[in-house]
Amino acid sequence: MVKAGIYGIGSYVGERVVTNAEFEKTIDTTDEWIRTRTGIEERRFAPDDVDTSDMAYEAAKEALEHANISASDIDLILVATVTPDMDFPNVSSLIQERLGAKQAAAMDISAACAGFIYGLATGQQFIQTGSYKHVLVIGVEKLSKVTDFSNRNTAVLFGDGAGAAVLGPVAEDRGILAFELGADGAGAMHIHKRDDYLEMNGREVFKFAVRQMGESSLSVLAKAGLTKEDVDFLVPHQANIRIMEASRERLELPVEKMLKTVHKYGNTSSASIPMAMVDELKNGKIKDGDLLVLVGFGAGLVWGSVALRWGR
C-alpha cells in the first residue's frame, strides 16, 4: 500500500501571554508551585473574538504553504477538537468553506488531547488505500472558554492554540511507520466537562498518563520493527513536564531528544503535538530522515502514538 507522511505543518498560537504571576492575584497559587508541578511558566489565550475555527484556519493556511499544496488539492479535512465553535456544524466544514477546499470531505474527531494522533491514524488509512491523496489534519482547542479560572487545580494548566498537518503519499522509507490507538472508558469521568467547565481528577490522570505514555511509545516502536535506540525525537503531548519526563526516561532518551513547549504554551490538548513540531522545525532541530515518536493521552480515557520518519 501507499505510504502516508507529512508534507507540511503549521500552527496558530494565542496572542495573549498569560504568566503564572497573573494567577497569583486571583487564586491560591504561586509561580513556584505551578512551575515545579507542571513545568508551565506561561500560556497563550486567543482573543474573545477569535474562536476555534479561526485558529484552525490560520494553522491550516500555514501548513498548506509549508507543504506547497493548494486547498483545491485537499480531499479530506479532519479536525480534532473538544472545544468547537458550536455543537454543530462541525469545525471541519467551516474550515473547508474558508479555505475554498470545495471538493474536500469534512469530519471532526473527538479524542481530546490524543485527537491529533487519532487524526493522523485516520487520515493515513484513506491515503494508504488510495481513496484520497491529500488529507488535512488539524488539532485545535480554545480551552480558555471551558476553564474555570476560580479552580486552582485546573485554572493554570491550559492554553489556546492550533496545529495542522498536510498528509500525502511519501517514499517507502518515510512517513507513518506504525500507530497505536487505545481507550479505557473505565476512567472516563477522570476528565470531563460539566456545567460548561472542564473538571479533572488530577491524581488519577497523572497515574494513567505516566504509565500509558511510556507503554504506548514502546509499543508503537515494536510495531514499526524499531527500538528506542532508533528514536531521534520524542514528541509527547505537552500536558505536564513530570509526565513528559517519565515518558522520556522510559525510552532512555537524553533531555535534548524530547520536544518541549509546555513551559510557554501550557496544555493545548489536541494542538500541543503539532505546535511543538512546528517550533522545532522552525528552529532547524527536526531534519529529513529523523525518526519521531508522537504520543498523547486524553479524556476518554484515550491514548495514541505514531512512529514517523520525517520527510517525503
Say how far apart CA 105 and CA 168 lie, in whole Å.
16
Q: State yes or no: is 90 an active-site residue.
A: no
Q: Which of 20, 90, 240, 267 is catalytic?
A: 267
Beta strands 302-309 and 291-298 are: antiparallel
Say how far apart CA 259 and CA 294 lie, in whole Å.
10
Beta strands 233-236 and 291-298 are: parallel
**Which residue is listed with cell 470545495?**
102
Q: Which of 66, 134, 190, 237 is catalytic?
A: 237
Say how far apart CA 220 and CA 292 lie, in whole Å.
11
Residues in CB range of 57: below 8 A, 6 or more apart? 94, 95, 98, 99
Instruction: Answer for the pair 237, 265: CB distance below 8 angstroms, yes or no.
Output: no
Q: Which of 113, 134, 190, 240 is catalytic?
A: 113
Q: State yes or no: is 20 an active-site residue.
A: no
Cell of 281: 522545525
Q: State yes or no: is 113 an active-site residue.
A: yes
Say how far apart CA 208 and CA 226 lie, in whole Å.
25
Instruction: Answer for the pair 239, 210: CB distance below 8 angstroms, yes or no.
Output: no
- Looking at the annotation, which residues are catalytic? 113, 237, 267
